[in-house]
Structure 1
């Protein structure tokens, strides 16, 4: 199923070649799939994967269509349901070698939108869901940009990412990161899937960990809180971090956040522990 080249799989995604990074564990107890955020790529999650592998997970994650090393016009996503299909493709690929291991999906920002929709559509696949600064509920940035006759060519403000200035500098220098404007088709599709998520189905007893920076200027806590409340997750754990901005995995307290996430992942996969 697909071709493996070094640490990458090449799969046939909905819009062409889908590149999926894999971090294997020698003796895995669980599987974790990571969904990255808008404009970035899975390579920015090396340290997250390393922490999970140390805890006994085999980890994988795609570069979404139009992102990183995957095919597609840059940052153009016409249909988020098709991206969920791509994520399922990656999950099925990792299950080829480990069919009996429990799976947890982690989604950051836009990846949180994708991971949530995955959980709604494929609830039986999952042992748990982790959402980091997810775009859910009301995301005013989409509304504001779509109201403009032309979307301004303004990249994401690197100061919104982390209190650590080195994170912003590395992001700005990363050639695989998109440094241009938002794309209208992507925003329209994003709004549609947010509406679909709000319509359900509920996540029920699926264990969910939601982590969010209290000073996140890019995806404000209040807007996401309403979306989280609408998920109908009866086993929700919420952790917010004072002073933290958008990229919790790259914040100055990243070790604290990663410890919380890895502990949750291990807790919800006890059968394989």
Structure 2
């Protein structure tokens, strides 16, 4: 499958300029996808996902959150996730303005899954379907543990926890746009607050797919599954992958994962 290069795009979010990408399909698009990346990373790590979606007919959008990648802001500082949901809304509405007749699917990974779940609660009218990959939902014991410390321990994300594919971890470790330091207290507190907000935000009314690796050591599956059970749509679906780690889109069975995602999309688009 040939790689489709992205087009740089800009969004003026709550704190300033957000830089992102748009990928166009080789033929006229039949649907839209908006990708929402995870903590400490950037949208450029989703080239593989964009390639699969564009070759299925999607025009794909995504931007780097404030404090992430090429966007403005103090690195990985998030004081209120509702503001990141507001930023995402600007991108979703831009996609609808540029392709007003196409259905839109929201795809969020990890922290991006938390943002996507909240967006789906707040703006169901703008979405045809939502996909949550290894989402931070429900209970995340690491957050509770870190908040007990007067000084947050300097424990960055281990590249080996991302995927069984060693190349993924090595590329992550070399990536200068990735944050390789510890979590920051304001961000931890914002995570805790948003988890409560989503847990209490009501069930999703948009068809939603929850996908999770069963050997996810960053966002353990049990806590995320608990959160999914609190908000799952009546026509929602859950899929888990034995032995898969956190980044299921970059796992050794990535083709299976993207096949499952696209099969779900085709049911609703």
**Range 166-175 or range 258-267, more displaced:** 258-267
Matched residue SS, 1:246: coil
Within 2, Cα distance between the matches of 1:24 and 1:93?
15
The structural deviation recorded for 1:10 is 1.4
Within 2, Cα distance between the matches of 1:93 and 1:127?
16
Within 1, Cα distance between the matches of 2:130 and 2:11?
24
Matched residue SS, 1:21: strand
Within 2, Cα distance between the matches of 1:251 and 1:13?
32
Match of residue 107 from structure 1: 108
Summarize the Cα distance change of 1:267–1:232 in structure 2 as closer, same or farther, 3 Å threshold: closer
Does residue 14 in structure 1 map to residue 14 in structure 2? Answer: yes
Match of residue 251 from structure 2: 251
Q: Deviations over 1:226-251 (max 9, x none)?
A: 10000041111111111100000111
The structural deviation recorded for 1:11 is 1.7
The structural deviation recorded for 1:207 is 1.0
The structural deviation recorded for 1:117 is 0.3
The structural deviation recorded for 1:201 is 2.4
Matched residue SS, 1:196: helix
Match of residue 221 from structure 2: 221
Match of residue 31 from structure 1: 32
The structural deviation recorded for 1:266 is 2.3
Within 2, Cα distance between the matches of 1:256 and 1:181?
32
The structural deviation recorded for 1:257 is 0.3
Within 2, Cα distance between the matches of 1:143 and 1:107?
23
The structural deviation recorded for 1:74 is 0.3
TM-score by length of 1: 0.94
Kindly report the root-mean-square deviation, in angstroms, between the aligned alpha carbons of the 2 structures: 1.0
Q: How many pairs were matched up?
A: 263
Within 1, Cα distance between the matches of 2:34 and 2:67?
19
Matched residue SS, 2:128: strand
**Range 232-241 or range 71-80, more displaced:** 232-241
Within 1, Cα distance between the matches of 2:146 and 2:232?
29
Does residue 54 in structure 1 map to residue 80 in structure 2? Answer: no
Match of residue 3 from structure 2: none
Within 2, Cα distance between the matches of 1:174 and 1:157?
13
Structure 1 runs (4+) deviating above 6 angstroms are: none
The structural deviation recorded for 1:24 is 1.4
What runs of 5+ residues in structure 2 fail to find an aligned partner?
1-5
Does residue 208 in structure 1 map to residue 208 in structure 2? Answer: yes
TM-score by length of 2: 0.96
Q: Say if 2:215 and 2:244, in contact at 8 Å, map to a contact too.
A: yes
Q: Deviations over 1:158-207 (max 9, x none)?
A: 11101111111110000000000101101111111110111122213x21
Q: Deviations over 1:51-94 (max 9, x none)?
A: 00011100001100100011000000111111011111011112
What runs of 5+ residues in structure 1 fail to find an aligned partner?
1-5
Match of residue 180 from structure 1: 181
Match of residue 236 from structure 1: 236
Within 2, Cα distance between the matches of 1:64 and 1:172?
20
